[in-house]
Structure 1
């Protein structure tokens, strides 16, 4: 398997939305009830501000997108274009952690290094802009990847904006 990472474009949006829907529906089945998975669709998703900012990446195999994710220099921690409470304020790299955002892997490519590839690129890019820490809001299905990548849990919470409480974990990591 040869994986290629590149910056996402607006032309990728239909494929990204389909990949995200599949990942939410499939990869969380061991961690969430069917009701929580349905609620996750209302909470999670693509924030196109990341694409506009050039901080969102896709991983392709033979020209097919198999994963996506990015980082942000903006205050919003998680959620898609449809999510309430988004904040486009720019972060201060000297004070604030950069945000890792919207990490999704095609279920057929899970646990093959796609997520690690994206996380490494996020870390490198955020460090190049002066950030010394990363922060993310992870799902229970993503927590093992983030823990293996050096993130630690700083808060466990539930988001009930989808009508049913969905457990999430806020995690942080220093950039070495």
Structure 2
């Protein structure tokens, strides 16, 4: 996650904005507890290498790690709420190799199987083109002023499953 955040965002955001983004990114242990998080690995030179991770959430929290303020860890109701795509990260050397698409499709499929008919996510500025190309629509933007004074933009997006 750290490498993905720092390197994949560097060509889109200033170093202060990348640091600000960390306040709404990171590990969310509820995804692991719920069994809704996936990893993609490969083997190089006999070593397993993590090339991507991401998943979906059946809780109301849209984005953020365990440290992020304003979380709502109550469960979503598939009859009225959207599922959430959560914590998508791809190692910089593996972007545009299908890793993110695979993780997104796994999350969407699992959410559909759990009875959800819509899915939402909170995208970074660098991630927005990826999600737009896969049928997501922007429904709003939140801008947070981080502890370092830099803006952190989260783009809220939705898609019918």
Question: When the two structures are superposed, what TM-score results if normalisation uses the length of structure 1?
Answer: 0.85
Task: Give the aligned partner of residue 105 of structure 1.
Answer: 90
Where 2:142 maps in the other structure, the secondary structure is strand
Unaligned ranges ≥5, structure 2:
none
Equivalent residues of 1:139, 1:167 under 8 A apart: yes
Unaligned ranges ≥5, structure 1:
1-19
Task: Give the aligned partner of residue 36 of structure 2.
Answer: 55
Which of 151, 155, 158 pairs up with 1:169? 155
Aligned residue pairs, count: 156
Where 2:135 maps in the other structure, the secondary structure is coil
Q: CA deviation at 1:125?
A: 0.3
Q: CA deviation at 1:118?
A: 0.5
1:2-24 Cα distance to aligned partner (Å, 9 max, x none): xxxxxxxxxxxxxxxxxx11111
Q: CA deviation at 1:92?
A: 0.7
Where 2:102 maps in the other structure, the secondary structure is helix
1:85-123 Cα distance to aligned partner (Å, 9 max, x none): 111111010111101000000011011110100010011
Q: Distance in 2 between matches of 1:117 and 1:162?
A: 34
Where 2:115 maps in the other structure, the secondary structure is coil
Equivalent residues of 1:43, 1:162 under 8 A apart: no
Q: Distance in 2 between matches of 1:88 and 1:114?
A: 27
Structure 1 position 93 matched with structure 2 position 74: no
Computed over aligned residues only, the root mean square deviation of the Cα atoms, in angstroms, reads 1.0
Which of 10, 26, 29 pairs up with 1:45? 26
Question: When the two structures are superposed, what TM-score results if normalisation uses the length of structure 2?
Answer: 0.93
Q: CA deviation at 1:161?
A: 3.8
